[in-house]
Structure 1
Amino acid sequence: MDLEREKEETKWFRKDGLRIKQTSEGKQTLVSVILDGYNICFKLMLFDFLDHIKEDLALDVKIKKIWNEQRVFVVDSKYVSDLINYIELFIGEWNIKISESTVSASDVISDELWYS
């Protein structure tokens, strides 16, 4: 993933249609994931993402709702790079794509909101 922007405690990464934003909050980091303009945190959960990452990397990742009730992953800041790398690999391995059956209009993330 390429570092796209950086401001204070937030970094934005991008690779093609995949965007990841990490925001440090002390010992924890919030990780937002959008694919082709949609928040896919819930979609990843449908693929048992949390179970896979716990099994494969022994990481304890939580879910938190933030702005506009959007879901984000929460991880210990020491392991944020591991989480981001795993997300990219997981999406490729499981061939995760956007489909109308697993995302909704409420999952759309505008650039204005993404970069705020």
Structure 2
Amino acid sequence: MPKTPYRTAAPPGATADDVEAAFYEALQAADLDQLMACWADDDEIVCVLPGGPRVTGAPAIRAAFERMFSLGAIRAEPQRVRKIETMTTSVHSVIERVEITLSEGPHQSWVVATNVYLKTAQGWR
């Protein structure tokens, strides 16, 4: 049973790559609803933000991104992506260039991330 109102991350027929693009667009726009639409509707979804703890479940993940967005603008762009794909799973090992705007000005760093996408009844998430 869905925990939150269902929202489409990408159009029907979208690929894991399309959902990843939608995720990064939502991240840069600080669009929390669109960002959360990229996640599977599952109690066991997991997120580890840079420097943060392992966060499990949509409410906790949403709260973590709310805190992150409250610190200022975030620009994250995948620069290098390595993929392992099957019919129902796509694992992307990504090197991201991340720029955040703090009160002291912009700060840039490189982050290694692993994004895992599953093909669900609602499409890729």
Normalising by structure 1, what TM-score? 0.32
Higher helix share: 1
Normalising by structure 2, what TM-score? 0.31
Max radius of gyration: which structure? Answer: 2
